[in-house]
Every structure is written in structure tokens, then in C-alpha cells.
Chains A and B, each alone.
Chain A
Amino acid sequence: MSAKTLRRLVQFFFVTLTIVGVFVVRGNAERWCPFGGVEAIYTYASEGNMLCSLGVSNFYVLAAVLLITILLRRAFCGYMCPIGAISEWLQSGARRLGIKEYKVGHRLDRALASLKYVLLVVILVLTWIEAELIFRTFDPCYALLSRHGEDITFWAYVVAGSIVFASLLIIMPFCRYFCPLAAVLNPFSRFGLTKVRKDDDVCTGCGECEQSCPMAIPVGQMSTVNSARCMSCFNCVEVCKTDATTALTWGPGSNAKRTWPQYALVVLLFICLSGAVTAAYVVPLPSFVKEHGEPPTETAVAELAVHNLTCRGKASLFDYFVTRDDLYALDGYVRMEAWPGPGAVKVRIIYDPNKTDVDAIKEAITEPYYDRDGDRWRNSPFEIEGYDPLALD
């Protein structure tokens, strides 16, 4: 199997996985996006909760992607990212249709490449200030890989459409110039352990390697490809290979004589990703944490399965119920750990057993409350599995 075919297969696998996850399983793809982890770091560290729609799984995936980048450079972009795959497919489709590629000059390319860093800073600063995914309205990835007709706006389609159009003319414009995740990965990728090395004694200077690079890296002009853009796609290594010898090899260190097989890279990718998914399920850190009062020496834990705790906003409302100041006010220390999402979600309430009990906690969560600001009674939207508020009488 050629390197290109193997990579296309891996790309196809991840695109299919995403499509099945979004449209068939109807899961929340955002929870597995590594960039979501970058966006949520500040809010999670400062407030103890994830941005709306995200989960701690984003951190695990981000950690896996960073590890992949340190080991294999931007292999995530070349093998796993659905946007990268779609961009490449569009590009090869355009060539087959006879649409000519527009070559971006070196200086313009460098200037445009810095745009992603500016974009990253703007996105992070505004997201951290607002504590919301405020750029989702314009997010082309969200527009392409979410259930359409739910909450995607016109502008997301405009941006996505522009990128699709640009991808027909320019090699991977989003990945090279606009992707904020690429801006995060590049510093790690530059010091990646594996790299493409050139044996200058063997190289004939044919330039085939440069022609084959999907990221337009001038491979032939380097003895070691240290460019942060390198996706370890193996295109250059493969075109260079002849029956007799090869000038380009891939692997750790600088010994150009020894090459590692591409399948080793693919295996490492799957190991890292599986590790992240396993960790997300085995060590499921709460994505919403709120603490009230000083922790006492003795605490007890109530684990509840709560319905309608779908998002961060609802989790904030849940916290409002836990800290209510009426008849059902809970005395003493309370710490709430929740995993907002669809269906019955897990909530852990850590409390002072000398001051309150599980029944009081359940009542606080489910009893209606009087909203003094709005001068109206509001019913609790939350239901606890196996608990009937009226059965207490």
C-alpha cells in the first residue's frame, strides 16, 4: 500500500467517525475537538467549569494531540483532522477537474502564515473574557461538522464557503493561514522528535519532493525538514524512493540512513487517541465545579443522576438551586461536581453530614422557588432519577 493510500484511509476513517458521531449517534463533536481544550483552559482553571458545550474530554484530546505533535509533528493535521482531509480532497478534486493551482509567493506565504497567530490571540482573549465560545458563530469547522439547521449561523456558512472555494485554488489555505489550532501546535511541531531527513550524497535535486508536499514546504532545499508545518505525510519520502536508493527518510534523530515505516506513525496516532478517549471515560473529571463555604473535617457525598442538566447554563441554574436562600437552603459546606450533557447526567454533591442530608439536597434541587427579581414562582427544571418529590409526604 502506498503512503498516500494509507494516509487517505486513515483520513477517511476519522472523517467517517466524525460524521457517524455527529449525524448517526447525534453526539456532541465539540467535546472531542482539541481546540476546545485550548479555549476552555482559562475558564476551567479560574472558575472550575468548562465553556458551554465542551467537556473535560477536550483536555484529554488536546493532551493527546500535543503528544502526537511532539512525537510526530503535525501528523494530527495530516491524518486525523477532518478539515485537513476535506481540504486535501477538495484540492485533488480541483486538480482532476483541471482547475489550476494558484501558487502563493514565499513572502506573501510567510505574511499570511502569521495570520493564524493573530487569530489565535483574538479568539483566546475574547473567549476568555466572555467565557463563551463566541467565535462559534463564524466557525467554519462547526459549520461543516455539526448538525445543520440547529444553531449554525449564516456567517459560519459564509466563512466555510470561502474556505472551500479557496481550497480549490490554493493548497490547504485554512490549515496554513487561518487554523488557530495550527498556531498552537506549531511551536511543539518545530521541536518534533521525528522528521524528514535528506541524504545529500544521494539527492539528485529533481524537486519531486517539493511538488508532492501538500503544505508547500521547500523540502529539497533543506537537509532536515524542521518546518513546523510538516504533517509527516510521507509524500516526499515516497516520491523520492526508487528501487535502488532514497535520499529522504523519516524517523527520529538525524541519521538519514535509517527510516521508520509509516504504519509505525499510524499505530502511534491510534495509541495516543485511544489513550485520550480511555482517559476521558476512566478518569472523568467534572466539567462543572462550584464550591460554597469552607470544607469541614468530615464530608459526605451524594451521587445523583439528574435529568435536564444539559449545558453550562443549566449547571449554573442547578448551582442556584443548591445555594438557594429560602425554606430549602442547605446549611454548611457544599461542593457540586457535574458532568452536564443530554439524558441523565452524573452530579456529585459533597456536603457536611452534620448540617444537612441527602433528602434536603434532593428537595433543594427539585422544589420550586420564588424569583424575587422577577416576582414569580419558577418550577425546578431538574428531575432526579428514582426520586419523586411528592413521595416524601
Chain B
Amino acid sequence: MRRTALLILAMAVMVSVASVATAATGEALFKKGNTLLEEGDLEGAYKAYVEAVQNDEENEAYRQQATMLRQVIRMRKQLARETDNELYSHFALALRSFYHEHEVFGEALALDKAAFKRLSTPESAANLAETHLLMNENKAAIALIDGLSDSHRSMRSQVYLATALARTDQMERAKSVAAALDFSEEEDAGLLFDGACMFARLGNTEKACAALTKCFKQTPPSLLDGGKKYAMQCADFASIKDDARFKGALGTKSTIKESKCSGGSGCGNCPSRSSCSKKK
């Protein structure tokens, strides 16, 4: 009786140790995948994620990351041979979004350069400038935008130009570029965030916080916490981080209604109940 109990106890301990060890291996493999991804080794990262899934099959985060990266790899291959500009643009934006989210800026820069070369649109120019700024390559951003014709410039690229100028202590020129930009009607959350960065760099705390507040109001609830966390770490806001207005902006709530399915049989409280079925 006592021996049986001890045996069961020993087996239980072994099973728990084994499952903890498996989870730990899965986590280590997942971290390895993240490191490889940051280094730009997408195939290596994918292999590590798949191994992480094999170690911990129930982990949804590992699965999702592996599936997403597999698609990114496929998309990257497809991009090289894509002849349709519209599809090329779609794939390029998708890849860029993934690279930015995972801070694979080297890949993003190469992609943006290729996209700008091929598409040569104001959007692709602004994308390239943005990646330069994210990599703190301010001079490259200034050179790029200065080299654009008027038809290739956009409000976004001008915001990046003013930010890059301010970052490189060319304040007078930065202020004159910023003075020509009107944010009063702007609704795009991304551009509002960039505008807030620009104003913060120019020392205009009032306008920076107003733009940031408007940006957060226009940000979907599911992205709001991430956006605020990013703002707190963003070097452009370093000079206003302790300002009460900046802290106030961080307390802004989203005004965007977002679908969050209750998972139940009804959808009485679903914020998109009157429109989700009509969206394509």
C-alpha cells in the first residue's frame, strides 16, 4: 500500500517535471526564434517556432507566430516575382507591417527601398522615410525627402522631414516645415502620432499632447495599450515625458467602436452588432 502510494507520487512528480521541462524548452525555442527574427534570419526563426510548437502543442502564441512567419516567408518569395503592382503593394505593406511590429528594421529598410524604386509613389517615399527615422538614420531621411519632387511629397513625408531636422538640431528649418502643416482636420491615428513626435521634438508640448490625445481617441481599443506603451518609450517624447499634459494624453480613451464577439449565442452588447454583418 505504502509502496504503491510512493510509486504514484514519484510518477506524478516525474510527469510534472517533464511537462515543466517541455514548457521551458518550448519557451527557450520561442525566444530563440524571436532573436533570430530580430537578426533577420526568418527561415531560422520559423524553424525555431515550429520546434517550440512541437514541444508545447497547446501554446496558441507559438502556433500563431509560426503560422504568421510562414506566410511572411511565402509572401517574401512571392514579392520577388510579383508582376501586378497592386498585389506587390499589398504584399509590401503586409511585410513592412510585420517587420516593423517585430523590429526587423534591416529587412524593412531593404523592402521600403525596393518598393520606392518600383512604385515611386508619395506613400512608398514616406514609408522609406519612416523606416529611416525608426532606425535613427535622420540624415538619410532628410536627403531622401529633400530629393523628392513636389508631386512625391505628402503631409506624412513633411512630418518626417521636420522630425528628422529637429533631431539633427536644424530647428529653424524644422519649424518652417512644420508651420506649413495643418493637423486641425487630421483623423489618421498614425499620422497624428507622427505629428505628436514632431511637435515634441520642436518643443511645442501643447500641440504634441493635443495630437497625441486625438491619436489615442482614433486608435482602436485593442491597440490602445500598445500605442501608449510605445509613446512612453519613444525617444521623441523624452523632453515632455514628465509634463502633466503628456500624462493626461496617456489617459485618453478610444472613441473607436470595435467588434469583440462575446462568444455567446447572443450579441446584445456587441458594439458592432448593427454593422458587422454589412462589412465586407
A-B pairs under 8 A by CB, number: 114
* A-B residue pairs in contact (CB < 8 Å), sample of 27: A27-B265, A28-B265, A30-B265, A52-B277, A130-B274, A134-B274, A136-B266, A150-B262, A151-B266, A151-B268, A310-B261, A312-B267, A313-B277, A314-B261, A316-B276, A316-B277, A317-B276, A325-B90, A326-B91, A341-B265, A366-B67, A367-B67, A367-B71, A370-B90, A370-B94, A370-B97, A379-B64
Cβ-based interface call for A246 (8 A): no
**Which residue of the partner chain, among B67, B74, B279, contacts A389 with CB atoms under 8 Å?**
B67
| Docked CA distance A88–B78 (Å) | 69
Given contacts A312-B277, A326-B91, A390-B50, contact A374 B220 (CB under 8 A): yes
Q: Give min CB distance, B216 to chain A, whole Å.
A: 15
Q: Which partner residue on chain A sits nearest B63 by CB separation?
A: A390
Cβ-based interface call for B117 (8 A): no
| Docked CA distance A132–B276 (Å) | 10
Interface residues of B in 243-279 (CB under 8 A from A): 259, 261-270, 272-274, 276-279
Of A136, A325, A390, chain B has the most CB atoms within 10 Å of the CB of A390
**Which residue of the partner chain, among A53, A134, A341, A375, contacts B190 with CB atoms under 8 Å?**
A375
**Which residue of the partner chain, among B66, B90, B223, B280, contacts A320 with CB atoms under 8 Å?**
B280
Interface residues of B in 6-61 (CB under 8 A from A): 50, 53
Closest CB pairs A-B (n = 4)? A151-B268, A370-B94, A313-B276, A28-B265
- Binary per-residue interface labels of chain A (139-155) against chain B in the complex, 1 for a CB within 8 Å, 0 otherwise: 00000001000111100
- Binary per-residue interface labels of chain A (309-330) against chain B in the complex, 1 for a CB within 8 Å, 0 otherwise: 0111110110010010111000
Across-interface contacts of A389 in B (CB, < 8 A)? 63, 67
Cβ-based interface call for A131 (8 A): yes
- Beyond the given A132-B277, A151-B264, please list 19 additional residue pairs across the A-B interface where CB-CB is below 8 A: A52-B266, A130-B274, A131-B278, A134-B274, A136-B268, A151-B262, A151-B268, A153-B268, A310-B261, A310-B265, A311-B265, A313-B267, A313-B273, A313-B277, A367-B67, A368-B67, A368-B68, A375-B97, A377-B94
Q: Which partner residue on chain A sits nearest B53 by CB separation?
A: A390
| Docked CA distance A389–B67 (Å) | 7
Interface residues of A in 248-293 (CB under 8 A from B): none
B101 touching A377 by the CB < 8 A rule?
yes
| Docked CA distance A341–B63 (Å) | 25
- B binding-site residues for A, Cβ under 8 Å: 50, 53, 63-64, 66-68, 70-71, 74-75, 78, 90-91, 93-94, 97-98, 101, 190, 220, 223, 259, 261-270, 272-274, 276-280
Across-interface contacts of B268 in A (CB, < 8 A)? 136-137, 150-153
| Docked CA distance A375–B220 (Å) | 12
| Docked CA distance A392–B28 (Å) | 24
Q: Which partner residue on chain A sits nearest B61 by CB separation?
A: A379
Interface residues of A in 310-356 (CB under 8 A from B): 310-314, 316-317, 320, 323, 325-327, 341-342
B93 touching A370 by the CB < 8 A rule?
yes
B267 touching A393 by the CB < 8 A rule?
no
Cβ-based interface call for A372 (8 A): yes
Given contacts A327-B75, A368-B71, A393-B70, contact A151 B267 (CB under 8 A): yes
Across-interface contacts of B264 in A (CB, < 8 A)? 150-151, 310
Cβ-based interface call for A376 (8 A): yes
**Which residue of the partner chain, among B53, B78, B98, B266, contacts A377 with CB atoms under 8 Å?**
B98
| Docked CA distance A153–B263 (Å) | 18
Across-interface contacts of B267 in A (CB, < 8 A)? 52-53, 151, 311-313
Across-interface contacts of B97 in A (CB, < 8 A)? 370, 375-377
